[in-house]
Amino acid sequence: MTMQSRILMTGANGQLGRYFQAAFAGQQWFVPAGRHSSSSGSMAFDLEDEKQTQDAIALASPDIVIHAASLTDVDGCEKDRKAAWRANVLATRNLVGAMAKAVPSARLVYLSTDQVYPGPGPSIEDKALPQTIYAMTKMWAEDAALSFGNALAVRINFVAAGTPARIGLADWLVQSLAEKRTVTLFEDVLFNPLYAGDLPALVVALAKSGERRVVNLGCAGEGMSKADFARGLARRLSLPLDSAKSGRLSDGELAAQRPLDTRMDVQRAERILAASLPDAEAVMDRMAADIGRRRDKAA
């Protein structure tokens, strides 16, 4: 693969995909794809439709496919298991079949989730034990992706700006604190996210590494609680914490009970990349800067 390898990304209109589109804007070798076309040069097809998927992959003829399309609503997956299976498993099977037929020598990178880990963390790659329908279908889809052969499954957690359809954790937090709405900060939920803006370069580097297994990709170090993330972001943005209260995940009303500790051991990724990943402090710095830029743009 060369620097000009043709990359097709599914789910490019989602929360993470928008960062890839921004990072590779104007690059003809990057082809964003989704259910609906979002810009010139993008593709629209339904991964749950086998023929549409085959036609699209044959037309695009990519060297690398980054498969980010997914049903990520954890509670929604619990309520509609068939939809979760179609969006996460069937879609991946259709993509693998299309690639095997049209571009058998291409590279597939499947973006999975830290939700497959029950804790305690940081968890290494072989310690997965999914507890929710969302996590189960994502891990099932990992197996489908890896069956392609020249494939890599990357388990990630990230913080990002929201989309018109779905507000992100950081944006929700900032809005709530700015408006002095009561928010509960979960002290018992531990994670180690990356800033979404760092992921395009990291994922492409992993794609070009030739690695063919599961790799954890999160921030370096011991991670943090979601409460500490909230406090750190608020401090960087000079937001009051008067309306925030400490709590536990069990205080919330959730259809699916999430794991409390999804922190991932990222040493394998650092070895492959031959570089250290950002730590939690750097992630909060970058997310705060992202929010600041969008504030300035909106002003």
- The DSSP 8-state label assigned to residue 127 in this structure reads G
Q: Which two tokens stand for residue 31?
A: 């082809």
271 within 8 A of 138, measured Cβ to Cβ: no
Q: Helix or strand or coil: residue 156?
A: strand
Q: Which two tokens stand for residue 123?
A: 């968890």
Q: List pLDDT tens digits, range 59-88.
A: 999 999 999 999 999 999 999 999 999 999
Task: Determine the pLDDT at residue 3.
Answer: 54
152 within 8 A of 207, measured Cβ to Cβ: yes
pLDDT at 2 over 60: no
Q: Give which of 113, 117, 66, 74 is closest to 92, Cα–Cα.
A: 66
**Angle 100-102-106 from CA coordinates, rounded to 5°:** 65
CATH number, residue 196: 3.40.50.720
Rg from Cα positions in the chain: 19
Q: Count the domains in the chain.
A: 1
In a domain, 176, yes or no: no
Task: Determine the pLDDT at residue 296.
Answer: 79
Q: Which percentage of the chain shows pLDDT scores above 70?
A: 97
In a domain, 251, yes or no: no
Sequence-ordered list of residues with C-beta below 8 angstroms from that of 122, at least 6 positions apart, any chain: 192, 222, 223, 263, 264, 265, 266
In a domain, 177, yes or no: no
Phi, psi (degrees; rounded to nearest 5) at 246: -75, 145
List the end-to-end C-alpha distance of the chain, in Å, as a whole number: 43
Domain with 88, as residue range(s), is 7-167+192-222+258-279
**Angle 114-83-109 from CA coordinates, rounded to 5°:** 45
pLDDT at 6 over 80: yes
In a domain, 284, yes or no: no
Is the C-alpha dihedral spanning 169, 174, 179, 181 positive or negative?
A: positive
Q: Helix or strand or coil: residue 9?
A: strand
Cα of 151 vs its chain's centroid, Å: 17
Task: Determine the pLDDT at residue 208.
Answer: 94
Q: Would you say how long the chain is, in residues?
A: 299
Kindly compute the dihedral angle of the four CA atoms of residues 73, 76, 81, 82, in this order, to the nearest 10 degrees.
-80
In a domain, 151, yes or no: yes
Q: For residue 12, which amino acid is it?
A: A
Q: What is the pTM of this model?
A: 0.94
Q: Helix or strand or coil: residue 298?
A: helix
Mean pLDDT of the chain: 93
> Residue 154: pLDDT band by 50, 70, 90 thresholds?
very high
Q: List pLDDT tens digits, range 213-263.
A: 999 999 999 999 999 999 999 999 999 999 999 998 887 777 778 899 999
Beta strands, E only, 135-285: 151-156, 158-159, 183-186, 190-191, 194-195, 214-217, 224-225, 244-247
Beta bridge partners of 67: 10, 110
Q: Which percentage of the chain shows pLDDT scores above 90?
A: 82
Q: List pLDDT tens digits, range 100-138.
A: 999 999 999 999 999 999 999 999 999 999 999 999 999
Q: List pLDDT tens digits, range 26-52.
A: 999 999 999 887 666 789 999 999 999
In a domain, 236, yes or no: no
In a domain, 148, yes or no: yes
Give the integer Cα–Cα distance in Å for 182 and 112.
32
Task: Determine the pLDDT at residue 172.
Answer: 87
Give the integer Cα–Cα distance in Å for 124 and 236.
31
Q: Give which of 89, 74, 72, 124 is closest to 256, Cα–Cα.
A: 74
> Residue 171: pLDDT band by 50, 70, 90 thresholds?
confident
